[in-house]
Every structure is written in C-alpha cells, then in structure tokens.
Structure 1
Amino acid sequence: MKRVVLLNLAIILAMAHLQGADTIQVKPNQVPILIDRADNVLFYVRVNARESKELNEVNLRFANSMNMVEVEAVKLYYSGTEAPQRFGEVHYAPVRQYVSSHTPGMTRKANPSYSIKVAEVLSPANEVTLTSNYKLFPGINYFWISLQMKPDASLLTTVDVDFTTGKLDGKQAPLHFANESKPFRLGVGVRHAGDDGSAAYRIPGLVTSKEGTLLGVYDVRYNSSVDLQEYVDVGLSRSTNKGQTWE
C-alpha cells in the first residue's frame, strides 16, 4: 500500500513539474522560400520565461528526400521581448515582418532592428542543432529560424523540415505548435522594392509564349506603392529557363 501511495505521489509531482515547465511555442511559417533572399522565415519561436534562464539549443530535421547541397545556411535569430501594450495577447513576433515585403533595400535580408544572430550552421546536414545558450529576459522572448538557399537551388525543390526539440536550462522543453508544419515551395523575387530606383512593383501578370518563354508584367511604381494618380510605368521581365532566372 505504501509503495502505491509513493508511486502516485511521484506521478503527481512529475506532472506538476511538467505543467510548470516553460514551454517553447513554435509557429511554422507558410510563405514560399525565395532563393534570392539571404533570410527566409521557417519558424517563429516564443518563450515565456517564467523560470528558465537560457535557451540552449533548438533542433531541426530536414526530410531525407531533400537535397541539402542546395542549402547555404540555417540561422537562429533573437528578436526581443514583448511590448507592454501587448501584454495579455498571444503573438509570435514583436514586429509584423522580419524580412520586409515592401521597404526598399530590406526585402532580401533580416531586419537588423529585430534580428540578433545567435547561432548559424553553414552547409547543414539533415539534422541541424542551433546552439545559442542565449540568456532570457523574464517574460516573453522572441526568436526566429531563418533559411538561406544557394543561388543555384532548383525551383522544383520543396523544403520539408520539422522543429523537433529545444532545450531550456539544459533540459528538453515541452513544445507547443500554433499550426501544422507544411513543406515550403521555392520561388524567385523577380522584382523587389528599391530595384532600379522604384519604390514598389505591383499588379503582376504572367503568361507563357509559344516558345515556352515566361513573360512577367507588373506596375513599376516609382514614388510609392499607391494607386493612380502617380508616376507609374508597366515593366516586363522574361525567363527562358522556366522561371529559374529572369532578365
């Protein structure tokens, strides 16, 4: 009888410890990976540090079917703490975009104001460990995981990757996922804000010629992204290799 009581007590204590342990909250991104970007968001990471002092590491696993030769680097960034005006809400990043979709000169790399690189693995294998030992502030801490592809990566490649484990204070932490992780398709940014002195490119269209050439058309909005009346031209780019490169 005494053994049963002690066993039940041990189970209760273990469950209480698990429930009280800080959790690594993960939100997989659902936006295509751009080959011409130095940074693409794979995962948003949120740690509410009630007891934990350090994020030691996070671990990823790429599918065996993926050609890892095409991957340049996997990076872990720290991006700050929660703003007081957002206390009580659940967010996975302190800013809307870590890589801007519209700010000239900021559409191909991480926003330095919210991206302190704390770990990086170059030419990774399928199993990736990002070791940071980064000290946490009490409360919400934000991180994100970035993927950089090599310039010659194929558009036909899909990136299938899982966030498998993470450690806080040297111990494996519970994980909570905000949504299901799905494979990423690859893409190319044909035109970016700031290219050729234009503030924005909008309203794209795409056709294929009889010869198989891809023709992309779009607004070239020189001064801003707003609609007419403004200084706007029509631009044209073409690809003769099924979208891999453009001219």
Structure 2
Amino acid sequence: MKKSLLLLCAFYLYGTTSIGQTNTPQINSISLIQTELPTGLGDTDQRILAVKVSANSGIGSNTVNAMKFTMGGTTNIANVTNIKVYSSGANAVFNAATATLFGTVKPATGNLVVNGSQTLASGDNYFWITYDVAAGAKEGNVLDATCESIVVNKIPNNITINSVAGNRVILLANTLLFSPGDAGSLNYRIPAIITAADGSLVTVTDKRWNHAGDLAAKIDPVVRRSTDKGKTWSEPLIIANFGGPNGAGDAALVLDHTNGNLLCILSSERGFFQSTNAVPAKVLIVRSTDNGITWGTPVDVTNQIYGPNPKWKGLFVASGRAHQLRDGKIVAAIAVREDIDGKDHINNYMISSSDHGITWTASTARVELDGDESKIVELNNGDLLMSIRNKGLRRFNISSDKGLTWKTAYNQSDLPDPNCDGDIIRYTSTLDGYNKNRLLHTIPFSADRSNVSVLMSTDEGATWPIRKTIFAGASAYSSLTVLPDGTLGIYYENGENSIYQMYFVRFSLDWLSNGSDTFVENKPTKKEKQKNRK
C-alpha cells in the first residue's frame, strides 16, 4: 500500500511538471532593434521599433498574447494617427504587405497595450511597432518607442533594456524607389537626380542585373519620374543598352536651362580598368526634350574625348550631377586612367560642351593627380570649384579661367571622405536675386561608407558648418536636387538591409539649418525685369 501511494504521488508530481513545461514560455531572449530612417508626412506603417523574440522548440507551443510599450521619445504624439503591431515571423526585414497584423491601438501617453495572438516558431521571431504619420506632422519632430514587456502564454516577460538609441525624424518625404530583387534584378546602385524644367523630379539608377559590381556587366540605366515632389514615382523606363550583356550606367544628369532639355551622360560597354585607348569604354549622351518622359537614341561621343589624348586608357563622368555654367556651357568632371611614365594613374580632367551637348572637348589641364570621381560647380565670381573623391578628406581645386588651368588641389578640412562619390550643387545665388549664396554637398560624413549627410556652405565653399544626417547607418553614393518650392531632395544608396536600397528624401532648409535659415523666393534681377518688359 505504501509503495502504491508513492507511485501515485510520483505520477501526480510528474504530471504537474509536464503541465508547467507546456505553459511556461520557452523564451531565450528578447531584444529591441531601432529604425533610424527618416519618415515622410502622411506615411503609413512606419516601423519604429522591432522586438526580436528568440524562442525554443520545447514542449508545447509559445503564443504571444500581448505587448506593452510606450511612445517614449516621440516629440508629439499628435504627429501619429494610429499604431499597429505586426509580426513578420523569422523575416528580419519588415514589409507591411506580407507581415501579419497582430493588433492596433490609438496613440496616447503612458503605457499602451496591444492584444493579439501569434504563435512563436523555434528561433527568432520579429514583431514591429509601427506608426501612421499625420499628414500635418511637423518636420523635424521625431518618432520613438519603448517596449516594456510581452505576454507569452499569458505570462508577462519584462524587458530589462526597454529602449534603444536612435529615432525616426519626420521629414517632408521618404520614398523607397528600388530594392534588390525588384523586376528580376539582383541589385540597384548609382543614384542620379535632377529637377526638370517643368518642376518634375527625374532619377536615373543602375539596374545591375547579376551583381552589385561595375561595368563591364549587364547594367541598364532606368528612369523614374515624380510629379508630386517625390511622394509617388512612375514605372521604371530603360533609356540605354536595352538588355545588352555589356551594359551602360553611371549616369550624370544636367538640365540645359537654355532649351529645357535633359542630358544623361553614361559610360558604356567596357569597364574602366578594361578600357584601352584603342578600344575604350564608351561615353554616351542620351537626351530628353519632354522633361524625362521619353528619351532619344544614345549618341556616342567617345572619339571626341579620347581622340586627342593617346595616353588616356579609360575614363568616365562621375555619376550624379553634371553642371551648366552661366554662359550656357555644360561641364562635367571626368576620372581618367592615364599612362604617366609607364604607370597608370587615376587623374581628374574636365569635359565641356558649348552647343547643348552635341560636341564635347576634353581639357588639357589636369585637375588632380591620383584623384577619382569628382563634381564641378560654378562660384559667384565665375571660378569653377571641383570637389574630388579622396580617402580621408575631400579634395578641392579651383579654376579661375573656366577650366583652362587649375590651381593646386587642397584638402577640405571640414569634409571627411571615406573615398566615396558625393554631389555638390548650387542652391541659391545673390546673382539670381536670392538673399544669400548657398552651396550644398552630400557625402558619407564618416571614416567609412555610412552616415550620408547634407552639408551647406554660405561662403562659396570655403567652410561647411551646417550639416544634417540623412541616414546614420550604412550608406554610400548620393545625388542632390532643388525643387521649385525651395525644398531639397536627396537620392541615395541605403545599406540598412542590403546593398543597396535606393531612397528619395525631401526636406526643407529650415530643417537643414536647425531653423537658422529659411528659403526666401528670389527677387527678379534687373536682367529678368528687362526681359519681362519685352
């Protein structure tokens, strides 16, 4: 009898343990991941915080029943119209179209609870706290959250470290144009953007079909347009090469203000390091006469540039923006693989066209020995400033005779450069009736390819004291434009999840300058007044 009683007690004890193992959550860890992308006015399903739950495949199932969090760190909860929590299972990349809605709650101060039911798989499981941003939200305000606990199998699991550094800043627009895998292409790279004569935005991007590397490869330049300040974009349009195996890319854009045409300068067929003077990488000009809606047949101008320069083995125009001078001449910086005393160097020169991009001339004056991708902008005094890619600090050089000769290149001490392409453009000039001279520059403001930032100079490039980060994480090439309303647009490579996603961001001068500067419409110059009288 005593033995039977012991066996019975053992049975009940074992049964109780088994039930405990079934109901007790088999959770290894819970951690938080902060999103630091900008977000745009009126954007929905904007991920703020990811909750990563690592679960065991123990006895029984693990079901998340609720999540408790706050809007801590958010500047103004009125900037948010709704909060949704999603589950993406084991997928660490959020996509609202494929994620499962866990639950919703209205924005409020203090603790918020979202109830739902989501079974955890063995391994990592991702939940996303997302906000819908108000259309009237204030630019420069930030969105953030803390996560206090999650309830699994009706048992609360408190999160010791309930917040992560960072937040999402509200800007005027933040739009994803391309991700790896879109339209069958493994990668997209090399942003170029410009504002057309009608005010529409035009981008060109390398559709790099088989890998992220440069020419020679299957690469197609694809155009997208926006007529609503970058909120929505047209379907991609291939403008050169049309699927050929050797490709065309590295687009540089310029608007010819004298006739409204857009020119796209491309490198084609051969790679920069495979190019020879006898069989060079081609330079193509593609023209649009209708603000980027349609594009003409690419025109080969290669021989015009290589012909007079037998020691030039390869060259390309740096992607992003070319430039038109006040006298109508179109100029662009080129990187040239040049034979000097039997050794190859990558040097910088300039090409120019005085007839709207029909014919081109290469300068004989070398701007920089051992340079790289570079950009040109005209200063108010008529000088040309070339900004040159360089490891460590950006290099600048000045020409006082429209590129016939150049001074000695120098380090720009307040522009770090991780050896990456960036843009430099004119924003405003007193010569055009604006209240101030302003130049803009983009660069990954870091020792590596991260922290893509926009900088502003109000002393014609001597110093660059004004700066804002667009994305603090992995990021590389970028291109800039000015919209008709004076707001600014950057199109850049974002490496948050892959190499690369291509994002457009629009913002104001007020945000860039922390409120110390505001865009003011230009007053008509004397020349413009005389023209209007005619």
The TM-score, its normalising length taken from structure 1, stands at 0.59
Task: Give the structure with higher Rg (CA).
Answer: 2
Is the Cα contact below 8 Å between 1:21 and 1:174 reproduced in 2?
no
Pick which of 31-40 and 166-175 moved more: 31-40
State the one-letter code of the partner of 1:231: P
Report the alpha carbon displacement of residue 190 of structure 1 after superposing the two structures with TM.
Answer: 5.5
Is the Cα contact below 8 Å between 1:205 and 1:216 reproduced in 2?
no
Q: Secondary structure at the match of 2:27?
A: coil
1:46 is aligned to 2:67: no
1:209 is matched with none
Name stretches of at least 5 consecutive residues in structure 2 with no aligned partner.
1-20, 224-252, 254-291, 293-480, 489-505, 509-534
In structure 2, distance between residues paired with 1:183 and 1:216: 31
In structure 2, distance between residues paired with 1:145 and 1:174: 17
Q: 1:18-53 CA deviation, whole Å, 9 max, x = no partner?
A: xx8625512222422412542222224224044663
Aligned length: 191
Name stretches of at least 5 consecutive residues in structure 1 with no aligned partner.
1-16, 82-93, 100-109, 207-214
1:22 is matched with 27
1:119 is aligned to 2:103: yes
In structure 1, distance between residues paired with 2:29 and 2:114: 14
Identity across the alignment (%): 15
Report the alpha carbon displacement of residue 58 of structure 1 after superposing the two structures with TM.
Answer: 1.0
In structure 1, distance between residues paired with 2:162 and 2:146: 13
**Counterparts in 2 of 1:189 and 1:60: CA distance versus 1, 3 Å:** same
2:174 is matched with 189
State the one-letter code of the partner of 1:135: T
**Counterparts in 2 of 1:241 and 1:141: CA distance versus 1, 3 Å:** closer
**Counterparts in 2 of 1:178 and 1:66: CA distance versus 1, 3 Å:** closer
Is the Cα contact below 8 Å between 1:75 and 1:147 reproduced in 2?
yes
Q: 1:102-142 CA deviation, whole Å, 9 max, x = no partner?
A: xxxxxxxx241xx1111112x41123211113233455433
2:76 is matched with which residue: 40, 46, 67?
67
Pick which of 181-190 and 146-155 moved more: 181-190
2:37 is matched with 32
**Counterparts in 2 of 1:116 and 1:143: CA distance versus 1, 3 Å:** same
Q: How does 1:81-160 map to 2 (within 5 A)?
A: 81=90, 94-95=91-92, 97-99=93-95, 110-112=96-98, 115-121=99-105, 123-126=106-109, 127-160=111-144
The TM-score, its normalising length taken from structure 2, stands at 0.30
Q: Secondary structure at the match of 1:60?
A: strand
1:89 is matched with none
In structure 1, distance between residues paired with 2:159 and 2:28: 6
In structure 2, distance between residues paired with 1:144 and 1:34: 16
In structure 2, distance between residues paired with 1:191 and 1:141: 25
**Counterparts in 2 of 1:137 and 1:160: CA distance versus 1, 3 Å:** closer
In structure 2, distance between residues paired with 1:61 and 1:169: 22
Q: Secondary structure at the match of 1:69?
A: helix
Is the Cα contact below 8 Å between 1:191 and 1:201 reproduced in 2?
no
State the one-letter code of the partner of 1:46: V
Is the Cα contact below 8 Å between 2:73 and 2:143 reproduced in 1?
no
Q: Secondary structure at the match of 1:151?
A: coil
Is the Cα contact below 8 Å between 1:25 and 1:177 reproduced in 2?
no
Q: 1:148-177 CA deviation, whole Å, 9 max, x = no partner?
A: 212222221112321112111222114365
In structure 1, distance between residues paired with 2:176 and 2:74: 31
Q: Secondary structure at the match of 2:116?
A: strand
1:240 is matched with 486
**Counterparts in 2 of 1:201 and 1:154: CA distance versus 1, 3 Å:** farther
1:203 is aligned to 2:191: yes
Report the alpha carbon displacement of residue 224 of structure 1 after superposing the two structures with TM.
Answer: 5.4
**Counterparts in 2 of 1:204 and 1:178: CA distance versus 1, 3 Å:** farther
C-alpha root-mean-square deviation of aligned residues, in Å?
4.2
In structure 2, distance between residues paired with 1:76 and 1:65: 17
2:66 is matched with 57
State the one-letter code of the partner of 2:191: I
In structure 2, distance between residues paired with 1:44 and 1:218: 37
**Counterparts in 2 of 1:125 and 1:182: CA distance versus 1, 3 Å:** same
State the one-letter code of the partner of 2:77: M
Is the Cα contact below 8 Å between 2:191 and 2:205 reproduced in 1?
no
2:373 is matched with none
In structure 2, distance between residues paired with 1:153 and 1:203: 28
**Counterparts in 2 of 1:23 and 1:146: CA distance versus 1, 3 Å:** farther
